[in-house]
Amino acid sequence: MHRREALKLLAVGSTLPALPPHLLSAFRAVHSALPATPALKVLSPHQDATVVAMAELIIPRTETSGAKDTRVNEFIDHILADWYADEDRTRFLSGLADVDTRAQSLFGKNFVEASGEQQSEILRVLGEELAQATDALANAPRGYRGSTPEPDSNFYLMFRELTLIGYFTSEPGFTQQLHEEIIPGRYDGCVPLPVATPSKGA
């Protein structure tokens, strides 16, 4: 997935634009609290490597930082440890294990050992399954309809939203991609306005 597609998803989805200011600040604080030396709380080294590879496919490094550069994997690890309920954490880790199961079934190797093309194919399948689940909800009987599956019921939706939130609330993602200022610029209320020059014929 290219950066432009990720931005489009963010603009129309339910992630960053829908976050109230206090929650946005809380996610920013998670980034600020990341230790200088990575220290995983939940993810094993292998799980972390899988998260890194998947997140980098969603938001790769281009002329600006990618998911790996902005420590999205560590952001996700801290969210799993400090924000998620036990059942949601278990669901996420089970979904992560399923990614390896799929890679083994298709290519005879774990996800991190697969080629970039093979990894992209697995994410493509996960994306198609998410789209099918979304369509099923949209066509469900009245009372069961919804625009997207609940984030905690679909691993790929959960992972994608965490990746997008983790990236776009990091300092590079927030400033370079969303073009927002971390600290608003100075306001000079006493600066004199320029004198307008009357136009000819006025």
DSSP state at residue 125: H
**Which residue range forms the structural domain that includes residue 93?**
3-13+40-177
Q: Using the structure block, give the residue that is written with the tokens 């939130």.
A: 165
Instruction: For residues 167-184, give the mean pLDDT.
Output: 69
Report whether pLDDT(83) > 70. yes
What Cα–Cα distance (Å) separates residue 46 from each residue in 90, 134, 182? 16, 30, 33
With respect to residue 195, please indicate whether it lies within any of the assigned structural domains: no
Instruction: For residues 48-62, give the mean pLDDT.
Output: 96
Q: Do residues 99 and 109 make contact, with C-beta atoms less than 8 angstroms apart? A: no
Instruction: For residues 56-66, give the mean pLDDT.
Output: 91
Can you give the pTM of this predicted structure? 0.75
Instruction: For residues 52-71, give the mean pLDDT.
Output: 93
With respect to residue 55, please indicate whether it lies within any of the assigned structural domains: yes
Q: Quote the mean pLDDT of the chain.
A: 78
Report whether pLDDT(157) > 80. yes
Sequence letter at residue 186: R
pLDDT band at 74 (very low <50, low <70, confident <90, very high): very high
Number of structural domains (the chain) is 1
With respect to residue 92, please indicate whether it lies within any of the assigned structural domains: yes
With respect to residue 127, please indicate whether it lies within any of the assigned structural domains: yes
Distance of CA 94 to the CA centre of its chain: 19
With respect to residue 31, please indicate whether it lies within any of the assigned structural domains: no
**What backbone torsions phi and psi does residue 182 show, to the nearest 5 degrees?**
-65, -45
